[in-house]
Amino acid sequence: MIDHLFRHQYGKMVSILTRIFGLAHLQLIEDAVQDTFVMAMKTWREGVPENPEAWLTKAAKNRVLDLFRKINADQEREGKWVSGPATIALNELFLDSEIVDSQLRMIFAACNPALKPQDQIAFALKTISGFSAQEIASALLLKEETVKKRLVRARKVIASENIVFEIPTGPSLPERLHRVMEVIYLIFNEGFHSNRQEALIREELCGEALRLCKLLLTNEHTATGDAQALFALFCFHSARLRSKVNEQGQVLSLKEQDRSLWYAPLISVGYHALQKAVQSPFGIYHFEAAIAAEHVMAESYEDTNWKQILRHYEQLDILHPSTFNKLNLATVHLQLNDFEAARSLLEAIEPESLEQRAYLYHGLWAEYFLRMHLKKEGLAAMEEALAKVRNKAEREFLERKKDKLEQL
Amino acid sequence: MLIFIGEDYITMGMSPEEMQERMGRWAAWSEKMDANGIKHRGDALLAPVTRISGVERTRTDLAAAEVKELVGGYYTITVENLEKAIEVAQDYPDYDLGGYVEVREVMVFE
């Protein structure tokens, strides 16, 4: 059977049923879908049906009738009847194109500005991606209780704000879409940059972000140049996911990664998306994707076109100046042996603004001194970096650099 | 007869991913028994229990959440002896969920 079939079907079924019954009944819908999966799980023990998706879809349709009865019975007591959904042609909502449409509506509901940003991510992973609270907790390094609270809060807001289950249109679309992409980007980064040693969780989060982004590309209103660029960026990054950590769980820098492990088919899908993306005005994802493309294009680390990468970072910094970007610029200047430029950028950075990632700043100073053969200064900077780093794998990475400094 | 007893899956709140994984384990077990030609039949039982008891034939409807030890299903198999049946029961997938197996010999009238 297809990997993650249940998880993906869960998201689809919850989205379709929500489209029929509305967000107000979300809890009931999620419970009903859960029941369907327990049924499938028991029924399929003796053998998976030839078309498991069709089986589940049929089960979901049967659920619609159950839910009608249940919701109407509940509302009859309050003297209200659901009449709208009765007029919907049920079969049409189960067409592939409509399923995608329902899932897109759910993404926009999850990323509704009425919800707190951290709740948006948890809610999206639950309702669209079919993660349990426990799985979300383990993926985002949170306590299960915290995730549950966020989910409850998100549901409350959705109920109290009467959030409409739709894809926004008109002038509000760009802004709403921007937030959707931001949330998907955050989910991806949780997977890609968390440097967790459990490769599986990282791959699952990146995979989910890719899938959600791909959904955006299926609708003409959401398949913008920015969305294409974001998809390209994910493809390029994901292609090298497996080479980021070695068998011992050590985080490897780009220089150390085994490029033969990079997944070529994903890179070419990324190129295809990037080609479409460049037909629209460039946003930050365009430049990030272009930078990632330069990296995956280089045959070896030495072949990296740092000059081109520098130009992309400079463009990015004009569009979206950030301390983190300055740090990236300084890194590239170091690569190009432009020590003066690297130094002046580093001097202008206030490490506090990097918060938890301040160790990167001190680590880069250490690298700078290493390249300048200044052992004492380098070691001092490294001590600062080590004092601030929290992640075990990152710490080991810095320790290895420290060894190099000591050998100066 | 191998009888499976444990908490109902729904009340355990499993994620779709966990369900798929667990289903795979059940299927593997079932296939293994089939490959050995020992399995006759099996059924999975739905959770709600309707109990009829007493001389008054009192009916009690129990929801899954009310029953911690629920008969979830069974298999009948043909093996040489009890020890072999216990061996087959080693592959029951839900021990980690607190489930257990009761092995019962089916009486055969000669």
pLDDT digits (tens, 9 = 90+) for B16-72: 999 999 999 999 999 999 999 999 988 888 888 999 999 999 999 998 778 888 999
pTM confidence score? 0.85
Quick check: is B15 in a domain?
Answer: yes
Is A66 an 8 Å CB contact of chain B?
A: no
Quick check: is B69 in a domain?
Answer: yes
pLDDT at residue A354, as a whole number: 83
Quick check: is B17 in a domain?
Answer: yes
Indicate which of B23, B26, B34, B77 best probes the interface with A, i.e. most A CBs within 10 Å of its own CB.
B23
Domain A323-408 adopts which CATH fold?
1.25.40
Is A53 an 8 Å CB contact of chain B?
A: no
ipTM: 0.81
Write the secondary structure of chain A as one string of H (helix), E (strand) and C (coil). CCCCHHHHHHHHHHHHHHHHHCHHHHHHHHHHHHHHHHHHHHHHHHCCCCCHHHHHHHHHHHHHHHHHHHHHHHHHHHCCCCCHHHHCCHHHHCCHHHHHHHHHHHHHHHCCCCCCHHHHHHHHHHHCCCCCHHHHHHHHCCCHHHHHHHHHHHHHHHHHCCCCCCCCCCCHHHHHHHHHHHHHHHHHHHHHCCCCCCHHHHHHHHHHHHHHHHHHCCCCCCCCHHHHHHHHHHHHHHHCHHHCECCCCCECCCCCCCHHHCCHHHHHHHHHHHHHHCCCCCCHHHHHHHHHHHHHHCCCHHHCCHHHHHHHHHHHHHHCCCHHHHHHHHHHHHHCCCHHHHHHHHHHCCHHHHHHHHHHHHHHHHHHHHHCCCHHHHHHHHHHHHHHCCCHHHHHHHHHHHHHHHCC
Quick check: is B62 in a domain?
Answer: yes
CATH of the domain at B39: 3.30.70.1060
pLDDT in tens, A239-289: 998 898 888 877 788 899 999 999 999 999 999 999 999 999 999 999 999
Quick check: is B108 in a domain?
Answer: no
Structural domain that includes position B50: 2-103
Indicate which of A14, A35, A37, A135 best probes the interface with B, i.e. most B CBs within 10 Å of its own CB.
A37
Q: Which residue of A has its CA nearest to B27?
A: A45
Cβ separation of A44 and B17 shorter than 8 Å? no
Domain count, chain B: 1
